[in-house]
Amino acid sequence: MKVQPERMRWSMILAGFLIAGLGVFLDAVTKRWALTALEDGRVVPVWGEFLQLVLTHNPGAAFSTGGKFTPLISAFAILAAIGVCVAIFKSRSWLWSWVLGLLLAGILGNLRDRLFEPPGPMRGHVIDFIMLPNWPIFNVADIMINVAGVAAVILVFRGVPLTSSVKSTP
């Protein structure tokens, strides 16, 4: 049984947004947990000193840079989320739909913090809690953004176009 190309296209779009929704949910749940379990400033070792959990509030972007530009970073995140949504709709590749969904999840996870966490809308601090040695503290949304970035580079180098023709097998 062959799946119609238009139906397959909408399945890919749905998959991208479903992955994004699940990713945002996972990020929100882990951040809520971190806010309650780590609120007293304690450090929880998960794997000795290699992987620890500690709560921080990041006003900036990657590596805590740009703390004075949080509203600008928030506006850029909104534009990036819109751009990724457009790309999901244009995608004709299962792999790109999944990667873009993961990227959207990460963007929206951190954007949610910037919009709804103190000190206020567009200035909120991102909740970070995963700590590795010699690396900035990060969160699940950051992981999704980085995994999506690596996967996108792999897809580009393997020649997988964003708008390739729809095939009947995922």
Q: What backbone torsions phi and psi does residue 54 show, to the nearest 5 degrees?
A: -150, 135
Contact 145, 106 (CB under 8 A): yes
Query: Cβ-count burial of 28 within 10 angstroms (0-12 exposed, 13-18 middle, 19+ buried)?
Result: middle
Catalytically active residues, by annotation: 128, 142
Cβ atoms within 10 A of the Cβ of 17, count?
18
User: Position 81: which residue type?
Assistant: A
Contact 124, 113 (CB under 8 A): yes
Contact 138, 130 (CB under 8 A): yes
